[in-house]
Structure 1
Amino acid sequence: MNKLITIMNKVLSLFCISLSSVLVVCVSWQVFSRYVLNAPSTFTDEVARFLFIWVGLMGAAYTLGQKRHLAIDLLAMKIEHDEVKHNKLKLLINMISMSFASIIMVYGGGRLMLKTLATGQVSPALGIEMGLVYAAIPLAGLFMVIYLVQDILENIAFMTSKNTNSSTLSNQ
């Protein structure tokens, strides 16, 4: 599992860096063509919008895997001194996140992508299938699910080790 996570980290980070670089070039060209050449580029607006969607979703999956996502940790800070309760809270949060990522993003996003592909909807300027743009949702959800499975397994391993340690101490 750790090997898979290491590969995912490298692929996602390189992918996000690449998408961000292309996004910067597109937006720069768009500004240059609009204000210097007085001939706005029609396709770069759409490319930038789609790249922003992909960067946002893939970046969210990557930051979840790095445990650097935005969080409101008021409750976690209150029980920080109790490792077992803190771990149980992390497990609960991971389970809720897993439900969201799997049901809303993978299942719901996958259905949206497939329906859009089936209708043949294409983008106006680029002419690419919108289902390919929407594929970012289930793909990011899949990456999130994999990261969350690893976190949940770590939570369970921690709780198992604490139970083993406490039962060993009580037997002595």
Structure 2
Amino acid sequence: TGLKKSYLEIIIQLFIFLFSFFVMVIGGIRLVQITLSLNQISAALQIPLGYVYSVVPISGALMMFYSITFIIEEIKKKSSS
């Protein structure tokens, strides 16, 4: 029913949050650090690949923000009804 669906959506968003944090943010920061320390340069753009890979932790942070926003909205809906 509606309550079970609400709980399931919150649990799914928690998993997305955890994945975003551990894989994309933490792993992405490590990837950026490694590529910057190795001084890898993009063949086409001639910029450090660490700058290119920095989109991974940034995207992870945005996904975490979206997940938290969704969870808060879901809790507000559940408490108001």
Matched, 1:137 2:50: no
| 1:123 aligned partner | 42
Structure number with the bigger relative contact order (C-alpha 8 A, sep ≥ 6) is 2
Of residues 52, 59, 67, the one that matches 1:148 is 67
Inter-partner Cα distance in structure 2 for 1:160 and 1:141: 29
Aligned length: 81
Inter-partner Cα distance in structure 1 for 2:43 and 2:70: 41
Inter-partner Cα distance in structure 2 for 1:153 and 1:140: 20
Q: Shift in Å at residue 88 of structure 1? A: 0.5
1:91-135 alpha-carbon deviations (Å, 9 max, x no partner): 011000001111110111111112211221111233210001101
Identity score, percent: 35
Task: Show structure 2 runs of 5+ residues with no match.
Answer: none
1:11-37 alpha-carbon deviations (Å, 9 max, x no partner): xxxxxxxxxxxxxxxxxxxxxxxxxxx
Matched, 1:109 2:32: no
Q: Shift in Å at residue 160 of structure 1? A: 2.5
Q: Shift in Å at residue 89 of structure 1? A: 0.7
Q: For structure 1, which segment, 135-144 or 121-130, has the greater mean C-alpha deviation from structure 2 after superposition? A: 121-130
Q: What stretches of structure 1 move > 6 A for 4+ residues in a row? A: none
Inter-partner Cα distance in structure 1 for 2:23 and 2:71: 19
Task: Show structure 1 runs of 5+ residues with no match.
Answer: 1-81, 163-172
Q: For structure 1, which segment, 87-96 or 121-130, has the greater mean C-alpha deviation from structure 2 after superposition? A: 121-130
The Cα RMSD (Å) is 1.2
Of residues 146, 152, 158, the one that matches 2:77 is 158
**TM-score of the superposed pair, with normalisation by structure 1:** 0.45
Q: Shift in Å at residue 161 of structure 1? A: 2.8
**TM-score of the superposed pair, with normalisation by structure 2:** 0.90
